[in-house]
Structure 1
Amino acid sequence: MRHAVLFAFLLLLGKSACAAVAPEIDPHVPLGVVQQWIYNYRAKPDYAHVPAAVRVLFHSQTFKEPDNAGIYLGFIAGAIGSNAAKSEQLVDSFFPMPPEDEWVIVRAVAYSGLPDWRNLLRRIAPKMPGRRVMIDSYLNGTLPTLAEIPLEEQKPGMLDRMRSALTRNPFAKDDKKLDTKLTFASSQDLLDTLWGYYFATGSHVPIMRIVQMLPWSKSRDTVDKLTVGSMARYTLASYAVRDGSLREFLRSELPHQSEEVRGPLSEVIQAADTVQLGAVRRDAVAAVEELKTRGSDARRNLDFWGQVGVGAVALGCVSAAALGQVAVGVPCVIGGATSQGLLSFWERQQQ
């Protein structure tokens, strides 16, 4: 039945991929069919049907919650970056689109990895006058590209902390500002974005970025790192179970990695080789419980937990939901992008 629906979907998209007029959208095409198509895309690239697939994503309101749309954003960015000669034609084929979704194209172009992405963004800017601020922010470097986002924020050194303490007015009122700095350690949806880019290109560049997050799965220092690291380890193992070429790539990289990466990467490869994903899930949930019970290795005191607040509960929720542990006795008050985006996407591929 699935193949019949997919065949009908491809017939629906029958026009050339980069036609100026986007193909019609059949509202009966289920999102799950497009998800399956995206997952299989790297094995058999079908550039001709990318525009219509993207328009189905728009029609399905996939980008209504940006934090849960990383995997689709990454796929679009990868598709744009995979063919520089036709990139502008491809982007043009996405229009018209709902104005509230225009941010996706702006970010996808910036994340595409194209050498000339800035000029492409300038050329399509007139189509999106409502996104002028966002476009300018990417063009002037205020917002980073995917390759420019650091793994984590650099911590100030001892001298910097001393200088700050000595020069700060102790009577000055602290003005709390919204922290908009992007890092992989603090933004779970970026992990989704890397996977989406991999699905579109088969490139190992995003995979290597994910591999660098693996030591965080052993972290007991911050909630964010443990969450992202655990999801990086689990998703690598999950996809490697079904992707032999990915499994072999990870195996070939093992001797070249640092000691802190080799440990969790070995666990990923072992779990993928033996299809023991349950062990990875259990370990991640146990790590969550340990962090909640014992606290941070760096600061095991009440002040630390006062700062973490619902973050610890959020970690339990993210890990519980994303790792498939329905009952871990954690009151889930907030969700996580990775659990809602990447893992639900992965589970769809198992059906």
Structure 2
Amino acid sequence: MRAIALALIACTFVQSALAAAVGPEIDPGASLGVVQNWIYNYRTKPDYAHVPAAVRVLFHSQTFKEPENSGIYLGFIAGAISSNPAKAEQLVNSFFPVPPEEEWVIVRAIAYSGLPDWRNLMRKVAPKMPGRRVMIDGYLSGAQPTLMDIPLEEAKPGMMDKLRGTLTQNPFKKEERKLDTRISYATHQDLLDILWGYYFATGSRVPIQRIVQMLPWSKSRDTVDKLTIGSMARYTLASYSVRDASLRDYLRDELARQSGPVKEPLREVVEAADTVQLGAVRKDAVAAVEELKTRGSDARRNMDFWGQLGVGALALGCVSAAALGQVAVGIPCVIGGSASQGLLSFWEKQQ
């Protein structure tokens, strides 16, 4: 009887310690590291009950202050919402109150969740976020795409489209510069991080399939964006496959099914993961960047092209920087602009 009582006391202590580890009441700097490690291991040991506490830590730690560097966490929240449809509304309500300037996270996480009934959920929580009405309406109307509806890259105009534009435009009219708000995986590196976060929350192969589709860009010499994102896709797949046997097995099976431009970089990923030769993948990426730096893109071979891009345009997101060894633990993440590194400057420091 005494042994049972002691066991119950010990169990209660462990549960209390776990709750404190992801609770918002402890130091934000310390708790964030715990939550990062917890997120990375979540797919192998789901702990749905502690998701609200973990998310509150993320908000309390100002993780979403810079949207471009918070993709991993946004993806995790979206995946957590999708993982239990019956409790999705309860989970989302548990996140509130949310700072008004960060309500966009909840809106986007719902839209990116992939729930069959995500629109109805969005309408139910919309009254809690009146300041995000425009964003909410954008997703509900389809003007803003959901995560899996975002195209890999924007379709390029064909020869006839270009000719039509040439014949119909006034050659003397000054072209107005417009802000390009179109979104694609080829131009928004944070989407790669969001896919990884979604995977960590669900273990789903759907985001992995999307990442695999980006692998041919690791051989691209057309644009810096595509080379950057493709290289990050290849490196993160290899890096996490080293520590995730089920992912490694899946990619090996996928290799037998793939062909064309995907097959070669995927073979490199599988080989690097099997032999733990991540350095070779990074070295190849460095060489590709150096070549592009020296020669310019295939489309515009001149140094102005590289110079105009600037290091800031290549800022690494959370998982990407982590996978390259910026932080050594679990699911490492870079928070804030001061910690974020440009891809070129970071890789140069590795040499």
Q: Report SS of the residue matched to 1:349.
A: coil
* Correspondence 1:180 to 2:181: yes
Structure 1 residue aligned with 2:283: 282
Does the aligned pair in 2 maintain the 1:40–1:199 contact within 8 Å? yes
Structure 1 CA distance, aligned partners of 2:157 and 2:258? 26
1:101 is displaced (CA, Å) by 1.2
1:239 is displaced (CA, Å) by 0.1
Structure 1 residue aligned with 2:190: 189
Structure 1 residue aligned with 2:345: none
Structure 2 CA distance, aligned partners of 1:25 and 1:132? 31
Structure 2 residue aligned with 1:149: 150
1:240-296 deviations in whole A, cap 9, x for unaligned? Answer: 000000000000001211221010000000000000000011000000000111222
Q: CA separation of 1:345/1:135 partners in 2, compared to 1, >3 Å: closer, same or farther?
A: farther
1:98 is displaced (CA, Å) by 1.2
Q: CA separation of 1:343/1:121 partners in 2, compared to 1, >3 Å: closer, same or farther?
A: farther
Q: How many residues align?
A: 318
Q: Report SS of the residue matched to 1:25.
A: coil
Q: CA separation of 1:342/1:67 partners in 2, compared to 1, >3 Å: closer, same or farther?
A: farther
Structure 2 residue aligned with 1:34: 35
Q: CA separation of 1:235/1:211 partners in 2, compared to 1, >3 Å: closer, same or farther?
A: same
Q: CA separation of 1:163/1:174 partners in 2, compared to 1, >3 Å: closer, same or farther?
A: same
Q: Report SS of the residue matched to 1:235.
A: helix
Structure 2 CA distance, aligned partners of 1:341 and 1:112? 24
* Correspondence 1:205 to 2:206: yes
Does the aligned pair in 2 maintain the 1:71–1:341 contact within 8 Å? no
Q: CA separation of 1:183/1:92 partners in 2, compared to 1, >3 Å: closer, same or farther?
A: same
Structure 2 CA distance, aligned partners of 1:67 and 1:306? 26
Structure 1 CA distance, aligned partners of 2:32 and 2:24? 15
Instruction: Give the 5 Å matches for 1:10-159.
Output: 10-12=18-20, 25-27=25-27, 29-159=30-160
Structure 1 residue aligned with 2:308: 310
Question: Given residue 223 of structure 1, which amino acid in structure 2 is its aligned partner?
Answer: V
Q: Report SS of the residue matched to 1:113.
A: coil
1:161-215 deviations in whole A, cap 9, x for unaligned? Answer: 1111111110112111111101001000000000000000000000000000000
1:13 is displaced (CA, Å) by 7.3
Question: Given residue 27 of structure 1, which amino acid in structure 2 is its aligned partner?
Answer: D
Structure 1 residue aligned with 2:328: 347
Q: CA separation of 1:345/1:133 partners in 2, compared to 1, >3 Å: closer, same or farther?
A: farther
Q: Report SS of the residue matched to 1:30.
A: helix
1:311 is displaced (CA, Å) by 2.0
Q: CA separation of 1:86/1:267 partners in 2, compared to 1, >3 Å: closer, same or farther?
A: same
Q: Report SS of the residue matched to 2:228.
A: helix
**What's the % identity of the aligned pairs?**
69
Does the aligned pair in 1 maintain the 2:239–2:323 contact within 8 Å? no
Q: Report SS of the residue matched to 1:347.
A: coil
Q: Report SS of the residue matched to 1:43.
A: coil
Unaligned runs of at least 5 residues, structure 1: 1-5, 15-22, 319-334
With normalisation by structure 1, the TM-score equals 0.85
Structure 1 residue aligned with 2:316: 336
Structure 2 CA distance, aligned partners of 1:45 and 1:82? 10
RMSD over equivalenced CA pairs, Å: 2.2
With normalisation by structure 2, the TM-score equals 0.85
Question: Given residue 42 of structure 1, which amino acid in structure 2 is its aligned partner?
Answer: R
Structure 1 CA distance, aligned partners of 2:114 and 2:49? 20
Structure 2 CA distance, aligned partners of 1:25 and 1:91? 20
Does the aligned pair in 2 maintain the 1:42–1:199 contact within 8 Å? yes
